[in-house]
Chains A and B, each alone.
Chain A
Amino acid sequence: MWKWLHPYAKAEKSYTLSGKLMPWFLAVALPTFIVGMIWGLAFAPADYQQGDSFRIIYIHVPAAMMAMGAYSTMAIAAFIGLVWQIRLAEMTVAATAPIGAVYTFIALFTGAAWGKPMWGAWWVWDARLTSELILLFVYLGIIALYNAFSDKVLAGRAASILTLVGVINLPIIHFSVVWWNTLHQGATITKFDQPSMATDMLIPLLIMIVSFAAFLGFMVLYRFRNEILQRESHRPWVIALVQQSSSSVNKRG
């Protein structure tokens, strides 16, 4: 297995492989998005308590899950990058962080929009909302740290270390927020018990989760390829690639 994996530590090989994989991720993400969206918004039955406003779940839950998913991706990549000194893994960390931050923001925004009709307030210091907000802060810290370095190799390594520090800290933050919440506010504010979902509602949700995950994969590969091109711009294969694409554009033009 290692022999098979080894060539992909080379930037050119990874670039080609991720280029081949990208369309497949998009091919999964787009149809599932359209199907899941239409099914969820138009055909799934309305909730008996929340009416139609529960339908925001089809954006909110997948975004929140993938916000965590992106962070786990980063943590694994950071670990690989630091332990086996693989530069490309550190590039993955840098490429994933902004996407994870955007997913986190979407989850927060939809959570707030959902909270307005349900709780009567845009923002409630609910445990899950709060820890999602802190996750956003952690993402922003990693992005800021990465951008602060002018040497991108060092930047990638620093961001990886911070990612690993965060991955130890995030569960602690999560549980502390949960306890803080239950102690301060008690059960007065409903932590809305998820009624075990009806199958009609659940299937579109699962489809949307698949869609969001595939789109995450697509975006990560996309940014990963850009990252490689930017960092390796002085390498012969990148120069050859640029010349090739520009000449093909000239031919067409």
Chain B
Amino acid sequence: MFNAFLQIVRKELLGAFRQQSDILNPIWFFVIVVTLFPLGIGTDPALLARIAPGIIWVAALLAALLSFERLFKDDFIDGSLEQMMLAPQPLTWLVSAKVFAHWLLTGLPILLVSPLLAVFLSLQENTFWALFLTLLIGTPILSLLGSIGVALTIGLRKGGVLLSLIMLPLSIPILIFSTMAIDAATFGQSYIGLLALLGAMLVAAMTLAPFAIAASLRVSVS
């Protein structure tokens, strides 16, 4: 069972490295969106530092949305999704592997470029670490929630807009707690409690979301 998990992750990574623009495009999008805000608002460092958490998190949400299209689409078209359903391993497990691979390819790069953004938006070191930690805990939740939306809309021809309609309201708590944690760090307060809440949400999403994804996939593929 664990073997199947690793196999799927490996296959996803291999496929992505052979077609690198798929990984890079959402990251570029993320960086460009964040760059637009100083251009639109002005370059006052104090103002930028104040609104930075919101900007970065909203940009991360939008970038995640862009990347979801890829998650099950190819597997759906070439039929390997149906094979996954027929496989002896539970579908929830295989789906978790897909989501994990997706996070490695979209969430992790966002983490890696976040120092660059910290420089752009003149963040303090303390604030940056809060940002980094919230992204580390928050982006997997985004991947899990978004996968439910993808699984529901995959059979539809115009699923893209619908996906954002479904997913964005559900991801509001993550946005709220993350930006609250970063704000707390800016004011020099402790933000461990907020991180713990995010962690609780991550654990809940990890346990419940695979079932919702598997059920949705069964609806979409039938």
Contact = CB atoms under 8 A, between A and B. Distances in A.
Interface of A: 82, 134, 137-138, 140-141, 144-145, 148-149, 154, 157-158, 161-162, 164-166, 168-169, 172-173, 176-177, 179-180, 183
B219 A161 contact: yes
Given A140-B165, A166-B170, A172-B201, A158 B208 contact: no
B176 to A, nearest CB: 5
Contacts of B219: 154, 157-158, 161
A217 to B, nearest CB: 27
Contacts of A145: 152-153, 162, 166
B212 A149 contact: no
Contact of B156 (A148, A162, A166, A180): A148
Contacts of A82: 215
A177 B176 contact: yes
A164 B168 CA distance: 16
Q: How large is the interface on B (under 10, 10 to 19, 20 to 34, 35 or more residues)?
A: 20 to 34
Given A137-B169, A141-B166, A161-B215, 20 more contacts: A137-B165, A140-B165, A144-B165, A145-B153, A145-B162, A145-B166, A148-B158, A148-B159, A154-B220, A154-B222, A158-B152, A158-B216, A158-B219, A161-B216, A164-B212, A169-B170, A173-B169, A176-B173, A180-B176, A180-B180
B148 A176 contact: no
Which of B153, B156, B162, B172 has the most A CB atoms < 10 Å from its CB? B172
Interface of B: 148, 152-153, 155-156, 158-159, 162, 165-166, 168-170, 172-173, 176-177, 180, 201, 204, 208, 212, 215-216, 219-220, 222
A183 B176 CA distance: 11
Contacts of B156: 148-149
Contacts of B152: 145, 158, 161-162
Contacts of A138: 169-170
A179 B193 CA distance: 13
Contacts of B169: 134, 137-138, 141, 173
Contacts of B212: 161, 164-165
A168 B162 CA distance: 20
Contacts of B166: 141, 144-145, 162
